[in-house]
Amino acid sequence: MSEEILRMEGITKAYELGEETFLALKGVDLTVDRGEFLAVLGPSGSGKSTLMNIIGCLDVPTEGNYWLSGRLIADETESELARIRREEIGFIFQSFQLLQRQTAFENVELPLIYWGMGERERKNRVEEMLEKVGLADKMFNYPNQLSGGQQQRVAIARAIATNPTILLADEPTGALDQKTGHQVMDLFHELNDEGRTIIMITHDVKIAGHAGRIVRILDGEISEGVVEDA
């Protein structure tokens, strides 16, 4: 039996632009099982980041219901949502979003400090995470002393440090060359083989092909099934 960890029903997102209302999501239904590697594939402007922000509890839908780990997100308090964002979602962004004045080690350590993990345990955990992403020898480098691919691997180490329920990646290879992008996908495969659930948002058909399942998004609507025109 597969375990459902995410369910969306009839999710819409309306943006008010003066007198106009723009529907960025138009009734999205989506379920994801624990251990899945899902790609959400769509062109620029199709609603991918809007969807990611709702999945990551960074934004709320205008209509519809969203359950994460069986809990209706609309019923959660702001402080509980903050905890979910911190501990249950591992965010990975196109632009890495590392703190420039902190070393790789310190960047990965930060969510563990928020979590309340003690110093010794933290050190072990950070080292383990950086080893896992192949950066044991770069722990004390600053982001500007790392290549793009290495920076993204630091961001991935940071994202998995708290052992989140979902890894949520928005165009994780968007700022990387093709070869480096595929190396990041190799790492995603490893993490998925360990049982981690990954939701990856991308406009790149080749990158989406790494996922176990692809859903398409176009003009705020999701379609699932055969990929006709890849």
The entry of ligand ADP, Mg ion, none near residue 212 (CB within 5 to 8 angstroms by kind) is: none
Bridge partners, 202 (sequence order): 41
Q: What is the 3-state secondary structure (H, E, C) of the chain?
A: CCCEEEEEEEEEEEEEECCEEEEEEEEEEEEEECCCEEEEECCCCCCHHHHHHHHCCCCCCCEEEEEECCEEHHHCCHHHHHHHHHHHEEEEECCCCCCCCCCHHHHHHHHHHHHCCCHHHHHHHHHHHHHHCCCHHHCCCCHHHCCHHHHHHHHHHHHHCCCCCEEEEECCCCCCCHHHHHHHHHHHHHHHHCCCEEEEEECCHHHHCCCCEEEEEECCEEEECCCCCC
# chain residues binding ligand ADP, by CB under 6 A = 12
Considering the complex, what minimum distance in angstroms separates the CB of residue 43 from Mg ion?
10
Considering only residues 28, 30, 37, 50, which one is a binding residue for ligand ADP as defined by CB under 6 A? 50
By CB under 6 A, is residue 216 in contact with ligand ADP? Answer: no
# chain residues binding Mg ion, by CB under 5 A = 2
By CB under 6 A, is residue 15 in contact with ligand ADP? Answer: yes
Beta carbon nearer to Mg ion, 48 or 196: 48
Identity (one letter) of the amino acid at 65?
N
- Of 16-24, 60-68, 95-103, 190-198, which part binds ligand ADP (CB under 6 A)? 16-24
Considering only residues 46, 49, 162, 197, which one is a binding residue for Mg ion as defined by CB under 5 A? 49
Considering the complex, what minimum distance in angstroms separates the CB of residue 164 from ligand ADP?
21
Bridge partners, 197 (sequence order): 166
By CB under 6 A, is residue 114 in contact with ligand ADP? Answer: no
By CB under 6 A, is residue 205 in contact with ligand ADP? Answer: no
Bridge partners, 143 (sequence order): none
Binding letters toward Mg ion, positions 17-36, x by CB under 5 A: --------------------
By CB under 5 A, is residue 150 in contact with Mg ion? Answer: no
Rounded CA gap, 176 and 155, in Å?
14
Q: How many CB atoms lie within 10 A of CB 78?
A: 7
Beta carbon nearer to ligand ADP, 161 or 208: 208
Considering only residues 8, 28, 39, 48, which one is a binding residue for ligand ADP as defined by CB under 6 A? 48
By CB under 6 A, is residue 22 in contact with ligand ADP? Answer: yes
List interacting residues with Mg ion (CB under 5 A): 48-49
List interacting residues with ligand ADP (CB under 6 A): 15, 17, 22, 24, 42, 44-50
